Structure 1
């Protein structure tokens, strides 16, 4: 049988199954948020065995208001359960991210915690990589894009170079048919651009073309574009990505 610890510090057989066998840390708290019972997974995670102390003692101070708010919610409505991600400070000083599932039954709170530290660190690294990549792309001259292979040339990503090239901010041309990039291409070049790109995609080759666009202020610019297709494992075209640059100094109407 599983052993749990209560205020008396005397091991007591847990009722309802072998909870020490669960990989999740399981806690029981009183109405003040003090530890009254826990399983071995909590001890393994936090090297903690002090009963009577508040769980808040282990929390990062910036998450203390969120913790108190969660307890207040459960005091008002004991039928609901809550999910929160909060930061804990390990006794050794390490920062940990835990996913908490909280509920209340009678006068006690019940908490299940899973360690999300590795996942959160991966998310932080990915976010940093994305920011660095975006900063690099936004610093390049011209318009860097990723989009869908349709007649609208719907853009899913457009770099900040869109504004000096077209006069429109990147958001204006992103994920919209009404303001799609195709509306900037002069009518006499529309079929040429479409057919050139489609021929290259059929051959799984890069495409390269020159044409003219109308900018936000009415100016006509000559541009050069180079791009490639994005393909599935079966060869289906999932999208396109490339770059568009101005050639020459542009012309006025």
Structure 2
């Protein structure tokens, strides 16, 4: 494969891009590789001019790659620039899988592709996800609703244990990172300010909070609950979120 440093007159490629540390490629409108810089050749240890870029993409990610091409083609705006982005697995000639964050932009009658190696980041994310699944398995065996969430009026949840279904009537997926559903919708209006300001006062003092209030579950039945939680803080003291547990209180009203 020729280097971009030499230029590609047939598709108007700008010369001199071998100095860029990230892999850069130019493709024709059929997705055929027409040129690449030295970083791409170094990353993939192969030079194959005139073949579809898709051949380097893992078979399970080829549909995603075609979607990126379609989006780049449909969103072409020469004045605006930009591009579409996605993470793809590429097949290294050695047999290894490499993850790349891929940006595709249309430039006239060709595509420009920039790739940032995300292999180590993907492995770290996979390891973290595995640890999180293990922690959730432990949490799911405990009674009540255990959570980690954001400190906002909606009480947006990031992690919710399986016990939430017994408490609220809703599965964990109903709450997690949802813009449509939130735990705040379950809190009776008379308690909304009490819960909000109770948590904010505790966070300001960097103290644990304990609140009793009422919620209305999926079956419309009102339940008294007890919530205990703490703030999550950055090294600089910024509130990153909250975590805690919510249990039904059967013996007394809040």
Q: TM-score range by the shorter chain?
A: 0.5 to 0.7
Hey, what does 1:156 align to over in structure 2?
156
Distance apart, 1:164 and its partner CA: 2.2
| Unaligned 5+ runs, structure 1 | none
Q: Tell me which moved more, 11-20 or 132-141.
A: 11-20
Separation in structure 2 between the aligned mates of residue 194 and residue 102 of structure 1, nearest angstrom: 45
Q: Following superposition of structure 1 onto structure 2, how do residues 153-192 of structure 1 map, counting pairs within 5 Å?
A: 155-157=155-157, 158-167=160-169, 171=174, 175=182, 177=184, 179-182=185-188
Residue among 18, 27, 34 paired with 2:16: 18
Hey, what does 2:11 align to over in structure 1?
none
User: CA-to-partner distance for each residue in 1:68-102, whole Å, 9 max, x for gaps?
Assistant: 45556667887567424322100011112221324
Hey, what does 1:136 align to over in structure 2?
138
Distance apart, 1:167 and its partner CA: 4.7
Distance apart, 1:138 and its partner CA: 3.0
Number of residues of Structure 1 aligned to a counterpart in Structure 2: 234
Rate the CA distance shift 1:182–1:72 in 2: closer, same or farther, 3 A. Answer: closer
Rate the CA distance shift 1:197–1:20 in 2: closer, same or farther, 3 A. Answer: closer
Q: What is the RMSD computed on CA atoms of the aligned residues?
A: 4.5
Q: Tell me which moved more, 195-204 or 136-145.
A: 195-204
Alignment check: 8 A CA contact 1:163 1:169 kept: yes
| Unaligned 5+ runs, structure 2 | 9-13
Question: SS of 1:155's equivalent?
Answer: coil
Q: TM-score, normalised by structure 2?
A: 0.64
Question: SS of 1:228's equivalent?
Answer: strand
Separation in structure 2 between the aligned mates of residue 208 and residue 95 of structure 1, nearest angstrom: 49
Separation in structure 2 between the aligned mates of residue 199 and residue 215 of structure 1, nearest angstrom: 25
Separation in structure 2 between the aligned mates of residue 212 and residue 34 of structure 1, nearest angstrom: 62
Distance apart, 1:231 and its partner CA: 5.0
Q: Does 1:101 align with 2:104?
A: yes
Residue among 1, 5, 26 paired with 1:28: 26
Q: TM-score, normalised by structure 1?
A: 0.64
User: CA-to-partner distance for each residue in 1:195-247, whole Å, 9 max, x for gaps?
Assistant: 987776665443457x57576464766x5543334456676767643223346
Alignment check: 8 A CA contact 1:84 1:101 kept: yes
Separation in structure 2 between the aligned mates of residue 68 and residue 198 of structure 1, nearest angstrom: 47
Rate the CA distance shift 1:30–1:234 in 2: closer, same or farther, 3 A. Answer: closer
Separation in structure 2 between the aligned mates of residue 149 and residue 72 of structure 1, nearest angstrom: 38
**Of the two, which has the highest radius of gyration?**
1
Hey, what does 1:122 align to over in structure 2?
124
Alignment check: 8 A CA contact 1:27 1:39 kept: yes
Question: SS of 2:244's equivalent?
Answer: strand
Distance apart, 1:175 and its partner CA: 3.1
Rate the CA distance shift 1:75–1:155 in 2: closer, same or farther, 3 A. Answer: closer
Hey, what does 1:111 align to over in structure 2?
113
Separation in structure 2 between the aligned mates of residue 214 and residue 12 of structure 1, nearest angstrom: 65
Question: SS of 2:156's equivalent?
Answer: strand
